[in-house]
Structure 1
Amino acid sequence: MTSPTLTFLGAAGTVTGSRFRFRGDGGGFLVDAGLYQGPAELRRRNWDADDGGAADLAAVVVSHAHLDHCGYLPRLVRDGFAGRIVCTPETAELVAIVLRDSAHLQEEDARLANEHGFSKHRPALPLYDDEDVEATLRLLDPVGYDEPTALVAGATVTLRPAGHILGSSTVLLEVDDQRVVLSGDLGRPHHPLLRPPAPVPAAGTVVVESTYGDRTHARRRPEVLAAALRRTLGRGGSVLVPAFAVDRTELVLVELRRLVATGQVPRVPVYVDSPMALATLEVYRRCIAEGSPQLRPEAHELLDALDELHVRTVTDAEGSIRLNRPGSPCIVVSASGMASGGRVVHHLAEQLPDPRNCVVLTGYQAIGTRGRQLLDGARQVKIHGRYVPVRAEVVDDSDFSVHADADELLAWLATAPEPPRTVYVVHGEAHGSAELAARIDAELGWPAVVPQLGEVVRLD
């Protein structure tokens, strides 16, 4: 019997591109297969990344349906992967929405690049297409929480609630008698819609994310959004909210409903301009109606928000184009959350030059994305090959984060019934990962390591 191993194929030294390869006597499999996002040097890894020998992999476990955790799956399939993709039923539904949208955006970006010549590649090509996505979806194998599931001989997986987005999971692996826990993206204890993450089970190895490993979230400040809305609408401008289609759009709508209902902001038209967000809303709506156990009782407030705000849904391209210049004050919620693609990019191109308008950033903005550039005070951003001046107000509202902060990550780790041999800190920028590793060592007394990309470690 050989020692089982773990190889860090992604999310090492960066927040995106989660991909972890395990090998035991029974064969190899991945936990997560995410896209790199952000700077060009990271995105290039999507084209030349080590996929662990796609055709030789028996399975992929997907922790949740965000693109940086599932967006590489169709490329694996294109490269020969034909095994099972294990995830929760809700994740399977959301993965279908996310991947179809991803293929569409990649094909559209390639088309625009070829038409306008702003790519260095001749011709520009998508990483994968619709056919690759449909082949991928046929491999999805949904399993419920707390149901041990065989992956390969000698290896099982058990998914447990992570409280990050609907269907999100922490991952417990048992590989050749070694137990490994991966946090995936860990949610916060007080998510408005979801119940908190399950405690850490006993394991010799823990792999923990560190998106906010070097900071703690400020106390909730609902007045930040309320004041931004009042200022913008008062000067005749419109508010653009780049929001992740999965989970973030839902939280924004719940908060908008509260602000309008309490009279803190005036009632104006509210648009959701993202086919992916609208499809996701339907999954949430159904799970709320069915009383999904991962949802808090307060989750019904999402349905109240849709009704009371009279949310206007935009499905067609013509309707979206009209929102580039709305003509009268309104609130537009559109994907993507980091302004790296999707309809929100077209809205930004038209609305950023107008000082009456406002852009409200509602989540983590990875280095190299337009959202991060706006957050850092850029006076112009490049969109579709042209630089656009930033004259609109830009507001950062951290209240919507659904990533555990450093204190919450440590508190979750401390629920483990016994100390692990090693904690590997991943899915964070270099400083955040290093800071969290230092705190794990100092406060919990556990060995904590920030692994290098491509590093291989033994699990015994």
Structure 2
Amino acid sequence: MDVKLKFLGGAKTVTGSRYLLEVDHQKILIDCGLFQGLKELRLRNWDSFPIHPSEIDMVMITHAHIDHSGYLPKLIKEGFNGPIYCTYPTMELIKILLLDSGKLQEEEAAFATKKGYSKHEKPLPLYTIEDAEKVFPKLHPIEMEQVEKVNENISITYFNAGHILGAAILKIKITGQYQEKKIVFSGDLGRFHDPIMNPPLRIPFADILLMESTYGNRKQLSNRPEEELGLAIRETYRNGGVAVIPAFAVGRTQLILYYLFLLQQKGKIPDIPIYVDSPMAINVTELYKNFGKYHKLCPALEEDDCNPFSHKNLHYYRSQESSMSLNAVRGDAIIISASGMATGGRIVHHLYHRLPNENDSFIFVGFQAEGTRGRRLLEGEKTARMYGIDVPVKSKIYYIEGMSAHADQDELVEWADGFTTKPKMTFLIHGEKEASEALANRLSEELEWNAIIPEYLESFQLFEGI
């Protein structure tokens, strides 16, 4: 039995995670994400898939984020017809995220047609809401730590990765004629001391390891990010402005709500309204009640006075009309809206209206990938182009360290040190080039690992004749 691996994404970039594992004639796709950020990366979403989707036997998803699951509707549209394995929370999150993704792409295509700023005569979405719905019947959920035999030679097990609700480390066990081999995909690893999510589990053994390296060159020095968040909100309040927080609907919004609740309870920020302007974030927040064993907040959600997702200052805005009404708010408020990198969604609407206002502020609370609007704003761009218009940047821009859902460099090395024996091959994925290289250096120096940083579309023979 021969085993090969090909990197269809997530190589020297933090986006488009897609890894093709070939076990003899079986073709397994691990993660199926959209490319985001730089235009040259986003264009890959429109390219022909490197292998015809009808040839893929099954897909295994580590977690629901769009850069890991967002290409699924296109894959099915192009001919994939197998099962999609994931954890139970990931299944529910995928439904929410893909519907939103399809809706956004339909809206962007329609808006581009209306305004005429697309180079294409008739701009089309990558996929539609209807395409997204065709994913749902193929989702095959399994419990964490439950061994699932997917065929006579291959079984899989998911282990908690932290990061977001339902995120998992994936272990694939391949039983050959002569040998048994284990391949581990870290997925995206969470923080070791996250206030909401449990820490990632340590895996004792892997023949082959694929390990994320998003924060491979950074240490998150701030242990009290809520204090910095409180400072930014107080400064904005004193200026008479509105504090706007771009936050991903999954994970980050819930963490921000937790911190804001604590800050208001302790009197460290003013007792002002908090608006969650993201239908998707609202739907995701409701899942935390359904999947209490996957996070630390279950006891707090049972108490009305201690629930960070339900209190007097918190207002959930679903409709477009209620979102538009926030334009009239001139001060003494906090708005949370998606997406977290300001690449799409309602946050673009708020940027368009509030960037020119020097009293308002935008508080970024997570990693901003290369090429995203959030990254450019943090780097000090003076104008931001939205809806075909260059909008002046006069509002204050903050960045809060320590709120990332990704393990930092020290935590990544600590997680790797949990292996009792060195993997025969370690691939560093899902990180920009500099991050992967920095992590590779530390793994070499401290653990004597020889990590490989793969190229896009590079292939490797993992095993022969097992």
SS at match of 1:207: strand
Partner residue in 1 for 2:91: 92
SS at match of 1:457: strand
The match for 1:352 among 331, 341, 355 is 355
**In structure 2, distance between residues paired with 1:307 and 1:102:** 26
Partner residue in 2 for 1:332: 335
Partner residue in 1 for 2:283: 279
The answer to whether 1:307 aligns with 2:310 is: yes
Deviation at 1:167, TM superposition (A): 0.3
> 1:26 touches 1:153 (CA, 8 Å); kept in 2?
no
Unpaired runs of at least 5, structure 1: none
170-179 vs 357-366, which moves further: 170-179
**In structure 2, distance between residues paired with 1:458 and 1:178:** 14
**In structure 2, distance between residues paired with 1:413 and 1:20:** 20
**In structure 2, distance between residues paired with 1:387 and 1:152:** 54
The match for 1:256 among 249, 260, 284 is 260
> 2:360 touches 2:396 (CA, 8 Å); kept in 1?
yes
Q: TM-score, normalised by structure 2?
A: 0.95
**In structure 1, distance between residues paired with 2:410 and 2:280:** 32
Matched AA of 2:118: S
Q: Deviations over 1:218-237 (max 9, x none)?
A: 12243321111111111210
Aligned positions of 1:20-59 closer than 5 A: 20-48=19-47, 50-59=49-58
Residues 87 and 129 of structure 1: is their aligned pair in 2 closer, same or farther, counting only changes over 3 Å?
same
Deviation at 1:193, TM superposition (A): 1.1
**In structure 2, distance between residues paired with 1:299 and 1:122:** 53
Deviation at 1:306, TM superposition (A): 2.6
The match for 2:238 among 213, 216, 234 is 234
Deviation at 1:152, TM superposition (A): 4.0
Partner residue in 2 for 1:136: 135
Partner residue in 2 for 1:15: 14
Partner residue in 2 for 1:173: 172
Matched AA of 1:286: N
> 1:325 touches 1:350 (CA, 8 Å); kept in 2?
no
The match for 1:267 among 234, 247, 271 is 271
Matched AA of 2:427: Y
The answer to whether 1:374 aligns with 2:373 is: no
SS at match of 2:127: coil
Matched AA of 1:366: A
Aligned positions of 1:37-436 closer than 5 A: 37-48=36-47, 50-175=49-174, 176=176, 177-221=180-224, 222-288=226-292, 292-295=293-296, 300=301, 304-436=307-439
Matched AA of 1:69: H
**In structure 2, distance between residues paired with 1:299 and 1:251:** 14
Work out the number of aligned pairs and report it: 456
SS at match of 2:149: strand
**In structure 1, distance between residues paired with 2:6 and 2:152:** 19
354-363 vs 278-287, which moves further: 278-287
**In structure 2, distance between residues paired with 1:296 and 1:334:** 22
Residues 167 and 418 of structure 1: is their aligned pair in 2 closer, same or farther, counting only changes over 3 Å?
same
**In structure 1, distance between residues paired with 2:341 and 2:173:** 35
Deviation at 1:275, TM superposition (A): 0.6
Unpaired runs of at least 5, structure 2: none
95-104 vs 218-227, which moves further: 218-227
**In structure 2, distance between residues paired with 1:297 and 1:355:** 40
